[in-house]
Amino acid sequence: MKKKGTIILGVTGSIAAYKACGIISLLKKDSFDVEVILTKEGAEFITPLTLQTLSGNKVMTDIFALPDNWEPIHMSLAEKADAVLIAPATANIIGKLSAGMCDCLLTCVVYATKAPVLIAPAMNTNMYDHKITQANIAKLKTIGYEFIAPAKGRLACGCEGTGRLAEIEDIISAVKRRAK
């Protein structure tokens, strides 16, 4: 089966990291190649082995890992991307991107790519509604990053509110719409 394109999936440090498994499975079912970047914080919630098994590709975790060839890994991933999806996206990664920080593989790939960037936030309601988080989201929207709004419901912390990762089907629809 012919591949539709390559999706770079950034998985950050949220309890919703386990939902990356469903995202990968559906993208693969739709014939996308999925390359996963797992942040250090994301690896506290899900293992590289799980994501590698589902994606069929080596999971990237470290910008300083020796590449398989001479090309810098962040540039290689950025150039092969038909879309970059960050799901789940924490307030931390949204803040880093808004502030121009490139201190991990994921942020470097986002800044190096010309592909569409889609961000699916997942965090506590208070963190999502915080004025700084909302300002960071607004700033990133002005440069063309697309946000897949979080859902309202019961959160891992036990409270009710907005902050749950969007439904996987909604995330996949957004990716299919924006991938080159």
pLDDT tens string 66-102: 556 656 677 788 789 899 999 999 999 999 999 999 9
For position 9, what pLDDT does the model report? 98
- Assess contact for 155 and 122: CB atoms under 8 A: no
Residue 12 makes CB contacts below 8 A (sequence gap 6+) with 39, 41, 42, 86, 88, 89, 90, 92, 93, 106
Share of the chain above pLDDT 90, in %: 81
pLDDT tens string 18-29: 999 999 999 999
**Model pTM score:** 0.93
Looking at domain 5-158+171-178, its CATH architecture is: 3-Layer(aba) Sandwich (3.40)
User: Active site includes 102?
Assistant: no
> Residue length, the chain?
180
The Cβ of residue 31 has, within 10 Å, a number of other Cβ atoms equal to 11
> What is the distance between the alpha carbons of residues 173 and 158, in angstroms, rounded to a whole number?
29
Mean pLDDT value across the chain? 92
For position 75, what pLDDT does the model report? 78
Which is catalytic among the residues 102, 108, 157, 159?
157
> What is the distance between the alpha carbons of residues 146 and 152, in angstroms, rounded to a whole number?
19
pLDDT tens string 142-158: 999 999 999 998 888 88
Q: Which amino acid is at 64?
A: F
